[in-house]
Structure 1
Amino acid sequence: MHVIDNIKTVHDGWGRFHLVTLRSPDGSEHLRQVEDHGEAACVLPYDPVRHVVTLVRQPRVGPLFAGDGGVLLEAPAGLTDGEAPLEAARREAMEETGLRLSDLDSVGAFWTMPGCATERVHLFLAAYGEADRVGAGGGVPQEGEEIEVVEMPVAVAARQVASGGICDMKTVLLLQALQIRHPALF
């Protein structure tokens, strides 16, 4: 069995960064890097009457750092901040899109980068209607999120996945789950 022998914290901020000594069953040791910031939740709001999804467009430092433009179109998401994933998904949807979501349908919980991070993201689908748009969205002002709310037909979103226009993995997975569970929307 693999065992962690030592953990050295090299940064403790929004996320914690650790150097971890991993001991393999044969006794060999390997140094690994781990980023730890906790659980996350993500929800894809969709209107089954109008056949649209609500996404957010926002700058992301990871893709920008990697030289890939830095602005992504994605489903509302964020850390759970100690809440149940379902409640975190509802909070994120309200903050980012202004949608009040009630019934969420779980798609599952998935490790995003198991080779170097502890993040597991809980994914949900949520139907909404016109009356559920109770705010403007755009994120929490003091967090500097610069979020643009984007509502688009589900068929357009599917084409953007196929063409690479939507390249956020959690959003792609949720759109595919929506297509499997509700093919008539497409």
Structure 2
Amino acid sequence: MKAEILSLRTLHEGWTRFSLARVRLADGREAEREIEDHGNSVGVLPYDPARRVATLVRELRVPALYVAGEQSQLEAPAGLIDDGTPEDNARREVLEEAGLRLGDLDFVGATYSCGGISTERIHLFLAAYAATDRVDGGGGADGEHENIRVVEMPLAELARMADRCELTDLKTLTLVLALRARRPELFAG
């Protein structure tokens, strides 16, 4: 027997939708499961291979503030997919948040961000850039109250942070490890 959703009840609908699903499990029993749905997203780690740095952002994440008192989280630029392809949205988000105009993107994968509760699939990319690709100060889109701070840091320091379990954002950790596996020479020093 295959699992199937028997009913779905919306509990809240706003920026995100919260629903309660009644599910028949593969063994025939029934259970309730919560679903959070806000759409799919992109995450990008822009890096400058000549200078061996990456551009990240610091932003308030209220859930991290709530559970750990974190005032901001260091992370790769990211955002929801609106219209267009994941690649188009990735370039838009990096321009808005970090002020970088990107060309080619290196696809890492599309994974569920937290498959136990969320429908979100995050499309992950690496993107090489040069110092001349900085066209703006970044900081986020007007009217979104993001208060983003752009942080450029050495790749070697990012690797040390990953090794010390100091990167608390899963997409950022994934992207740093992917870049390290694909271009280990950039992390020397």
Q: State the Cα deviation string for residues 17-53 of structure 1 (Å, max 9, x = none).
A: 0000011133211001000011100000000100000
Once the two structures are superposed, the pairs formed by residues 30-69 of structure 1 within 5 Å of their partners are 30-69=31-70
Question: 5 Å matches for 1:125-164?
Answer: 125-164=126-165
Contact 1:76 1:97 in 2 (8 A): yes
**Aligned partners of 1:43 and 1:76 also within 8 Å:** yes
Rounded Cα–Cα distance in structure 1 between residues aligned with 2:183 and 2:95: 23
CA-based RMSD of the aligned residues comes to 1.0
TM-score computed with the length of structure 1 as normaliser: 0.97
Cα pair 1:107 1:125 within 8 Å, conserved: yes
CA–CA distance in structure 2, aligned partners of residues 80 and 124 of structure 1: 14
Give the aligned partner of residue 29 of structure 1. Answer: 30
**66-75 or 166-175, which deviates more:** 66-75
The unaligned stretches of length 5 or more in structure 2 are none
Q: What is the CA distance between 1:68 and its match in structure 2? A: 3.8
Native 8 Å contact 1:158 1:175 kept in 2: yes
Letter aligned with residue 20 of structure 1: A
For the residue of structure 2 that corresponds to 1:161, the secondary structure is helix
Look up the equivalent residue of 1:17 and give its one-letter code.
F
Asked whether the 8 Å contact 1:16–1:35 carries over to 2, the reply is: yes
- After TM superposition, the runs of 4+ consecutive aligned structure 1 residues lying more than 4 A away are none
Rounded Cα–Cα distance in structure 2 between residues aligned with 1:125 and 1:158? 15
> Structure 2 counterpart of 1:11, which letter?
H
1:83 and 1:13 mapped to 2: Cα distance?
22
Q: Does structure 2 retain, via aligned residues, the 8 Å contact 1:62–1:70?
A: no
User: Do 1:16 and 1:37's aligned partners in 2 also have CA atoms closer than 8 Å?
Assistant: yes
* In 2, Cα distance between equivalents of 1:168 and 1:162: 14
What is the distance in 1 between the residues matched to 2:27 and 2:185? Answer: 53
TM-score by length of 2: 0.95
User: How many residue pairs are counted as aligned between the two chains?
Assistant: 186
Aligned residue number for residue 21 of structure 2: 20
Which stretch shifts more, 150-159 or 66-75?
A: 66-75
> What secondary structure, in the 3-state scheme, does the structure 2 residue paired with 1:33 have?
strand
**8 Å CA contact 1:161, 1:167 repeated in 2:** no
Distance in 1, Cα, partners of 2:31 & 2:148: 40
> What CA distance in whole angstroms lies between the structure 1 residues aligned with 2:26 and 2:148?
47
Unaligned runs of 5+ in 1: none
1:166: how far off?
Answer: 1.9
> 2:26 and 2:184 mapped to 1: Cα distance?
47
Query: Which residue in the other structure is 1:82 paired with?
Result: 83
